[in-house]
Amino acid sequence: MFGRLLILLLSVLPKHALSRGAGWLASRTVPVGWRGAVYRGYSRIFGARPDEAELPLEQYPTLNAFFTRALKPGLRPIAAHAIVSPVDAAVGAYGTVEAGTLVQAKGRTYLLGALLGDPQLAAAFEGGTYTTLYLAPKDYHRIHVPMSGTVSSATYVPGELWPVNVAAVTHVADLFAVNERIVVLLDAEQGGRMAIVPVGATMVGMTRLVFDDLHTNARRREVQRRHYDPAIALRAGDQLGHFEFGSTVVLVCSPDAGVIEPLTLGASVTMGQRLGALAAGGATTRA
């Protein structure tokens, strides 16, 4: 009942304006003397780990800087010869792409073509595997590369900014295909392709990439496509982007790139953790 009431309330609120407002507030400078107390208080409320932060808390000038903090070196080792988790998150869904369809939640499905914004592109992933990874406010907010390869394109798809929590996933039809998102296509070293789709959400200021100025919650709310020539070479574990709060990443792996192995719904994963096997001949370790 609460979930439905929350969705009903949000349906009449200006979600984009609220989210931009949250981003503006999180970007205000926190006085140096307050920073430790503010960030430790946030961490106690949400369960974050300030001890993992790369820098002393006083060196993060804003809440947004703290949200998007890097971690101390070595805290997230990258599993060798594997598809790895791009984020710290909870598993929201896992399965095989069948008839171009993915499971959103029990009793709810959506079309991969709608998620990617390209029904023809979706055909390349038929029979492949996917997972949905949900980041809570407590989590490390940077997004990393799940396997080595080259980024050939990235597309900003404007849309709604519904929450991506359990209530929304349960009650909002086609949630991930109607929310704002960036579709990143990675051509794997061993062949095949992976779609990495960071999905925006209510109160997420923006979702950004490190190699382009594309971001969600843009004021110019129209599809923006980037094609990279030459393609951008990345290694597994390299940073891809970040969320300015929490949200969701949907990973879809074509059968000829590898397979995401069965994952338990609700299980926690950490960035760099093995999620699956590469196709023969693949490698994910840094040179």
Q: Which two tokens stand for residue 128?
A: 């492949």
Active site residue 144: yes
CB count within 10 Å of CB 68 equals 20
Chain-centre distance for alpha carbon 266: 16
Q: Which of 16, 43, 88, 139 is catalytic?
A: 88
Q: Which of 139, 171, 125, 145 is nearest to 78 (CA)?
A: 145
Q: Which of 19, 43, 247, 254 is catalytic?
A: 247
Side by side, which strands form the sheet with 207-209?
142-144, 239-243, 207-209
What CA–CA distance (Å, rounded) separates 48 from 39? Answer: 9
DSSP-assigned beta bridge partners for residue 143 = 241
Q: Which of 230, 194, 211, 231 is nearest to 86 (CA)?
A: 194
Half-sphere exposure of 72 (CA within 13 A, CB side): 8
Active site residue 238: no
- E strand spans, the chain: 83-84, 89-96, 101-105, 108-111, 129-134, 142-144, 149-157, 181-188, 193-199, 207-209, 224-234, 239-243, 248-253, 258-260, 268-269, 274-278
For residues 215 and 209, the answer to whether their CB atoms sit within 8 Å is yes
Q: Which of 16, 144, 171, 215 is catalytic?
A: 144
Active site residue 247: yes
**Which of the residues are catalytic?**
88, 144, 247
